Amino acid sequence: MNDMDRGSIVIVDDNANNLQVLSSMLQQEGYKVRPALSGEQALRAITASPPDLVLLDIRMPGMDGYETCRRLKATPATAGIPVIFISALAESEDKLAAFAIGGVDYVSKPFQAEEVLARVRAHLQLHRMQQSLEGLVEERTAALCVSVASLEESRAAYRRMLDQTIAAIAMTIEKRDPYTAGHQVRVAHLAVAMARKLGLEPERIEGLRLGATIHDIGKIYLPAEILSRPGRLSETELALVRTHAEVGLEIVRDVEFPWPIGMMIHQHHERCDGSGYPRGIVGDEILLEARILCVADVVEAMAAHRPYRAALGIDKALAEVRAGRGTLYDGPVVDACLALFEQDHYQLPPSLAG
């Protein structure tokens, strides 16, 4: 709206003389004026082309000013147009009624030209400010929606990349060590199912899934022949194998995962009674994710084939965790694991190594 365009006004009055006086007064001030002699005529004019303001008489034959205003306010396209009543009705109930149905102001007849002009000016200005504010809010909201959407998109892309990187790291370990091929994936599968059974938050379970998928990452440091050689390992070799928890932590220590992945890796061989390694911590000192990972690891390792022995089977694996419940292994974690296999008929994903 430029300076020349001061605003358009529809004036409604059944008295042609009043209409004439008001129209010429406002036209002189530079407003675009459309007169209407009845409520019906006014509604048609306003609907066809909504003005910036309506000056509305109350007492008119046919549709009166109140009803005209009510209909304007009931239509979304015209509800926001400010309506100033101009009427000879001077009782305060009349004024209150006018405000109650949505009028913004009330001018009594006979009116003072200056008063009408001042009120018209003020309400047009207010209306414009309101509109530009609404426009600004709409604009900002739209911009915000776009940023939120792109933020969600990049978050999803970042998660995908993280997932793929973890999978690539897991594959690196398994390329060197065919006997544990799929071990980490199956442990992750079981650990996630146990965590769900235990009611962990989905976001926390996602962290556990990723941690479990690379929990043996430290084995990359071990000579491949130790990992793949059939037969029992010597004490020295066993001691070397046990360094994989420490080495695993070292490898991921500087990665800023949104989950305690390093602690999961470091603690997955700890036992609740302190008999585990590398630190021999006990009970709640061990991260819950690591306690879950530990049981999943034991069950999967016993159920699957190993270089030094054939698969012991799931029954032996479950008997082991049951026997160690509350000592080696966390009680509720063991219960979740047993319930999965014995009640929910959970099955580990197929092992490639047979």
Q: Is residue 300 a contact residue for Fe ion (CB under 5 A)?
A: no
Q: What is the DSSP letter of 34?
A: E
In the bound state, the residue with its beta carbon closest to Fe ion is: 216
Q: Which helix (H) or strand (E) holds 61?
A: none
Rounded to a whole number of angstroms, the minimum distance from the CB of residue 268 to Fe ion is 6
Rounded to a whole number of angstroms, the minimum distance from the CB of residue 184 to Fe ion is 9
Q: Is residue 216 a contact residue for Fe ion (CB under 5 A)?
A: yes
Q: What is the DSSP letter of 329?
A: B
Phi, psi of 12 (to 5 degrees): -120, 120
Q: Segment near Fe ion (CB under 5 A), from 25-33, 60-68, 175-183, 210-218?
A: 210-218
Q: Which of 12, 127, 126, 113 is nearest to 69 (CA)?
A: 12
Rounded to a whole number of angstroms, the minimum distance from the CB of residue 341 to Fe ion is 21
Rounded to a whole number of angstroms, the minimum distance from the CB of residue 250 to Fe ion is 15
Distance CA 22, CA 28 (A): 10
When the beta carbons of 43 and 247 are compared against Fe ion, the nearer one is 247
Phi, psi of 309 (to 5 degrees): -165, 160
Rounded to a whole number of angstroms, the minimum distance from the CB of residue 218 to Fe ion is 8
When the beta carbons of 58 and 214 are compared against Fe ion, the nearer one is 214
Q: What is the DSSP letter of 285?
A: G
Distance CA 66, CA 195 (A): 66
Query: Are 267 and 281 within 8 A, CB to CB?
Result: yes
Q: Segment near Fe ion (CB under 5 A), from 11-19, 122-130, 192-200, 214-222?
A: 214-222
When the beta carbons of 13 and 216 are compared against Fe ion, the nearer one is 216
Q: Segment near Fe ion (CB under 5 A), from 77-85, 190-198, 215-223, 338-346?
A: 215-223
Amino acid (one-letter) located at 15: N
Number of residues that bind Fe ion (CB under 5 A): 1
Residues of this chain that interact with Fe ion (CB under 5 A) are 216
